[in-house]
Amino acid sequence: MSSSYYPLWVEKILFLGLIALGVYAGIALQEYLDGTSLILSWVCGIPVIVLVFTEGIGRIVQSALSK
């Protein structure tokens, strides 16, 4: 077993960065979408994408740092 530990602060910083990117994407989507599709992208699409990317990047970082 490895004596190194998984740095949770890296994942938290990535999560905050992806939230900021999601907010920016939501603002940028106003130029391309309107009405129901815009609201659905804000409520469902962007949060799901942020969580999927956070989980994927977190697992990659965890596997790279735990070796």
Radius of gyration of the chain (CA): 16
What is the tens place of the pLDDT at every residue in 5-51?
666 777 788 888 888 998 998 899 889 888 888 888 888 988 999 88
Assess whether pLDDT exceeds 70 at residue 60. yes
Give the long-range contacts of residues 59-67, CB within 8 A, separation 24 or more.
61/6, 61/10, 61/11, 61/14, 62/6, 65/4, 65/6, 65/7, 66/2, 66/4, 66/6, 67/2
